[in-house]
Amino acid sequence: MDFLVGAFKPPCNVSISFVDTKTRKQVPLKKDNGQTIMVPLFQSQENIIGEVLIEPTQGKKFEHNGVKIELLGQIVRELDVPGELFERKTYQFEFSTVEMPHESYNGINVRLRYILKVTIGRNYISNIVECQDFVVRNFTPPPSINNSIKMEVGIEDCLHIEFEYGKSKYHLKDVIIGKIYFLLVRIKIKNMELEIRRRESTGSGPNTYVETETLAKFELMDGAPVRGESIPVRLFLSPYELTPTYRNINNKFSVKYYLNLVFVDEEDRRYFKQQEITVYRLLES
């Protein structure tokens, strides 16, 4: 009977908890099944300290080949040598000053996850595995060089503009300030929008996959300007779900952001000019 029970039900419950659960910030994380759960937030070089609780079900002892916890792909800690477990047992663990240079990322074709994984090794039958996600976000100091983006572009004899965005690097709660100056207008513009687009590329070489999403569509101008008009740009980034720009993470993927200035004429033709911006995460004071 014991044998049979053991085959269908895990012989024990495993849970992972952090010492500072109560004080640590929790952030939402979307799971594969679409559910959103709250998980703790860490940043690089923090200590990840907690405990693993293993509780045999129905008070039955069971054998194991050893217990270990790993911070996935990185560090493994042996928690117990092979033996038998009779009763509930708590294992303390601590990963000190863990280097986690990459942020958690949940993209279309790529996800970057941080997971604590407890494995109870067993003979002949499959190991008992328990995982705990957490999120890593790393802050960047304000860039020392942050040039404006300024450019004159045009379609010959149709439309000549000069646009200027105050900076090329923006933090997530930043505001884009700029202006669009019309040097020549020969088309009947209906309106002008500023889009924020995210470009996620995965793989490399011929196997590169690129996905582009438009995260924001913000109308800058209504109606047709005449030559000499200067239209102000003020776009707050906070309402949009942006991440920092990620460049070539582990040679696996990149996430880049673009400002796309779009003109729509009265025949609904679209003219646009795309400029990359860098998004970074500024430490919230």
Partner 1 sequence: MMIPDGIEDEEKWLAEGIAGIQHNAFYMHRALDANNLREVLKYSAQMLSELRTSKLSPHKYYELYMRAFDELRKLEMFFKDESRHGVSIVDLYELVQHAGNILPRLYLLCTVGSVYIKSKEAPAKDVLKDLVEMCLGVQHPIRGLFLRCYLAQISRDKLPDIGSEYKGDSDTVVDAVDFVLQNFIEMNKLWVRLKHQGPGRSREKLEKERSELRDLVGKNLHVLSQIEGVDLEMYKDTVLPRILEQIVNCKDDLSQYYLMDCIIQVFPDEYHLQTLETLLGACPLLQPTVDIKTVLSQLMDRLSNYAASSTDVLPEFLRVEAFAKLSSAIGRVIEAQVEMPIVGAITLYVSLLTFTLRVHPDRLDYVDQVLGACVKKLSGKPKLEDSKAKKQVVALLSAPLEKYKDIVMALTLSNYPRVMDHLDNETNKVMAMVIIQSILKNTSCISTADQVEVLFELIKGLVKDLDGTDVEELDEEDFKEEQNSVARLIHMLYNDDPEEMLKIICAAKKNIMNGGPKRLPFTVPPLILSALGLIRRLQGREGDLTGEEVPATPKNIFQILNQAIEALTTVPSPELALRLYLECAEAANDCDLEPVAYEFFTQAFVLYEEEITDSKSQVTAIHLIIGTLQRMNVFGVENRDTLTHKATGYSAKLLKKPDQCRAVYACSHLFWVDDLDGIKDGERVLLCLKRALRIANAAQQMINITRGSSGPVTLFVEILNKYLYFFEKGNPQVTSAAIQALIELITTETKSDSTAPDAVSDPFFASTLRYIQFQKQKGGAMSEKYDSIKV
Q: Site residues (CB under 8 A) for partner 1?
A: 191, 216-226, 229-232, 234, 236, 238-239
Measured from the CB of residue 215, what is the shortest distance to partner 1 in angstroms? 12
Minimum distance from residue 195 beta carbon to partner 1 (Å): 11
Cβ proximity to partner 1, 236 vs 272, nearer residue: 236
Instruction: Please identify, using beta-carbon distances, which residue of 113 and 181 lies nearer to partner 1.
Output: 181
C-beta of 284: minimal distance to partner 1 in Å? 16
To partner 1, the closest distance from the beta carbon of 108 in angstroms equals 23
CB 34 to partner 1: min, Å: 24
Nearer to partner 1, 78 or 266 (CB): 266
**SS in 3 state form for the chain?**
CHHHHHHHCCCEEEEEEECCCCCCCEEEEECCCCCEEEEEEECCCCCEEEEEEEEEHHHCCEEECEEEEEECCCEEEEEECCEEECCCEEEEEEECCCCCCCCCEECCCCEECEEEEEEEECCCCCCEEEEEEEEECCCECCCCCCCCEEEEEEECCCEEEEEEECCCEEECCCEEEEEEEEEEECCCEEEEEEEEEEEEEECCHHHCEEEEEEEEEEEEEECCCCCCCEEEEEEECCCCCCCCCEEEECCCEEEEEEEEEEEEECCCCEEEEEEEEEEECECCC
Nearer to partner 1, 73 or 239 (CB): 239
**Measured from the CB atom, is 79 or 176 closer to partner 1?**
176
